[in-house]
Structure 1
Amino acid sequence: MLVAWRYRKRENSFIQSFDPRAWVIFYICNLFATLTFWDVRFLLPFFVIAMFVLFTSGVKWHEMRRAFLFIVGFVLFFAFVTFLTGRGGAEVYTQEHLIREFRASFSILGWTPVLKVTAERVFYAVSQAVRASSIAVMTIVIPYSLNPALYGITFKGLGLSDKFAYAMDLTMRFVPTFGRDFQLTMDAQRARGYELEKISGGLIQQVRKLGPIFVPVTIHAIISSEDIIDAMDLRAFGVGPRTWLDVLTYQNRDRVLIAVGVLILSVSVVLGFMGFGRFWVPEILFKMF
């Protein structure tokens, strides 16, 4: 059985007050507008929008705690690694102004680890963290705020074909369904005496010992997909246009939200072509060091 994210109708939810199609359009416009800039001054408004959406979504902390901590933690870790290595910013800046250099007191095969703290590295890491966090926060809220029963009709209403709309519906349900199957398999193996907590050895040995978990989950996912394909074939899916039980209708507030999203994207693209929003480092740092 396919399952969905922990959706529920929430009172005073900003996202749920709009047509899901309008919200998806606004999200896509905001996404591409955010990717237009590297200047942290231009990225901060998008971060403010993301935080506003988060705090007005009505989603409780305990509902999205794991997903939020994982994604935001990954973003911050990636930004920190970029700061340490200096890689990733070669296409953004060509010159670095050294603030401080840390040299290790030991050598590895004749190589001495050196950490160069430059103004460009610092602000590139900050810009990257703000940029990715703005996108991640907006993305996290969507699965918990859109009605799973409207996934297919939402994408169909955006002009996509029936096949693509249903494929997007199944894709959004895959992660929670896979997580449910994984948890059920672990509980079943524990009931049979399989002790996951005592798995030891190297990385390859640990992966081999997790076979009783991964193999059943993978086989079940394949069998479930085959069942879905057979059910769709029996209903002649793809032969002709499909009809949908639910009907979505745009309201005035939905048109306003779409217009705001298109305006944000248009202004961002124009500013980008005019040379605004490129990577920026405060000049005061150059004078201090």
Structure 2
Amino acid sequence: MLVTWPYRRRGSFLEAFDPRARLLAALSLMLSTLFFWDVRVLAGLWGLALLYFRLNRLTWRETRRAWLFTGFVAFVFVFITFLTGRGGFEVYQTERLLARLVLPISLFGWTPAIPITVERLFFALSQMCRMGTVITAAILIPYTLDPSQYGVVFRGLGLPDKIAYAMDLAFRFIPTLGRDAMQTMDAQRARGYELENVRGGPIAQIRRLAPLVVPVTLHALMAAEDIIDAMDLRAFGVGRRTWLTELRFQRHDFLLLGLSAALFFGSMAAAALGFGRFWTP
């Protein structure tokens, strides 16, 4: 059985807007970050995304796991880029040295040293602001979109029925996989398997995680096969299908769509005019 993200109505005035308009507004925030490297502009976009997040009345408590996971991945990516300096070679050509961090180790007579420059520092800040905007807007989608309207929303955006239903199943797959993993973990613990005492090298750890990974993977494949069989028995994809819910844009939805389009195309025009390029003080 498929489960969904922990959606609930929060009494926000944005819930009166069409979910397609809210989804496109979040996408416009994500895409607008692609045109800039100026940390001041990206910080403003991140602030706008956080304001949109707050207006939806989402709380840290219910979105904490999503923030911690995505934030950790973003921090690791930015930190590695800062150490190597590889990501900024196409953005800036010269670097101004602030300090040189010499590591207290020696490899065959070579002592690693990490140069800390102004350009690397501000490029890392720009990356963090860009990823922060994308993460904030992405978290909004599963927590503010009614699961019963997933397929209707994507179909209403002009996607074919098959793709709309595939997107519906994809949004439900992640929480379902998490539910199955927790159930399998509890079942293995009841049988005396100690997941906390996984020791040894990488190969040994992978082998000891097999009692958890194998059942979850097999159950996911079997569930996918059951869904495929059920859709085939109902002749899904033979002709154009109808949806139980019908969405219609209202006047305030067009206003939100207009603001989203103005943000996206305004960012594109500003970037074309040379505004928002990489900046350092």
TM-score (norm 2): 0.97
Residue of structure 2 in register with 1:286 after alignment:
none
Residue aligned with 1:238, SS: coil
List, as ranges, runs of 4+ consecutive aligned residues in structure 1 with deviation greater than 6 Å. none
Deviations 1:179-234, CA, capped at 9 Å, x for gaps:
00000001111111111122211111011011111111100000000000000001
What's the RMSD between the two structures over aligned residues?
1.2
Deviations 1:121-177, CA, capped at 9 Å, x for gaps:
010000000111011011112111100000000000000000000010011111000
Deviation at 1:105, TM superposition (A): 4.7
Residue aligned with 1:35, SS: helix
**Is 1:66 the counterpart of 2:65 in the alignment?**
yes
Of stretches 41-50 and 75-84 in structure 1, the one that deviates more from structure 2 is 75-84
Of stretches 133-142 and 96-105 in structure 1, the one that deviates more from structure 2 is 96-105
Cα distance in 2, alignment partners of residues 106 and 91 from structure 1: 31
- Residue segments in structure 1 that go unaligned for 5+ positions in a row: 283-289
- Residue segments in structure 2 that go unaligned for 5+ positions in a row: none
**Is 1:11 the counterpart of 2:11 in the alignment?**
yes
Residue of structure 2 in register with 1:149 after alignment:
148
Cα distance in 2, alignment partners of residues 98 and 246 from structure 1: 59
Cα distance in 1, alignment partners of residues 189 and 13 from structure 2: 40
Do the aligned residues in 1 keep the contact of 2:96 with 2:117 (CA within 8 Å)? yes
Q: How many residue pairs align between the two structures?
A: 281
Q: Map residues 104-253 of structure 1 onto 2, 5 A cutoff.
A: 104-253=103-252
- One-letter amino acid of the structure 2 residue matched with residue 270 of structure 1: A
Of stretches 164-173 and 16-25 in structure 1, the one that deviates more from structure 2 is 16-25
Do the aligned residues in 1 keep the contact of 2:29 with 2:49 (CA within 8 Å)? no
Cα distance in 2, alignment partners of residues 61 and 170 from structure 1: 26
Cα distance in 2, alignment partners of residues 173 and 215 from structure 1: 21
Cα distance in 2, alignment partners of residues 198 and 101 from structure 1: 40
**Is 1:87 the counterpart of 2:86 in the alignment?**
yes
Cα distance in 1, alignment partners of residues 105 and 28 from structure 2: 50
- One-letter amino acid of the structure 2 residue matched with residue 12 of structure 1: S
- Change in 2 beyond 3 A, CA 1:60/1:13: farther
Cα distance in 1, alignment partners of residues 104 and 190 from structure 2: 52
Of stretches 94-103 and 203-212 in structure 1, the one that deviates more from structure 2 is 94-103
Seq. identity, %? 50
- One-letter amino acid of the structure 2 residue matched with residue 8 of structure 1: R
Residue of structure 2 in register with 1:260 after alignment:
259
Deviation at 1:6, TM superposition (A): 0.3
TM-score (norm 1): 0.94
Residue aligned with 2:200, SS: coil
Do the aligned residues in 2 keep the contact of 1:13 with 1:58 (CA within 8 Å)? no
- Change in 2 beyond 3 A, CA 1:159/1:219: same
Cα distance in 2, alignment partners of residues 27 and 105 from structure 1: 45
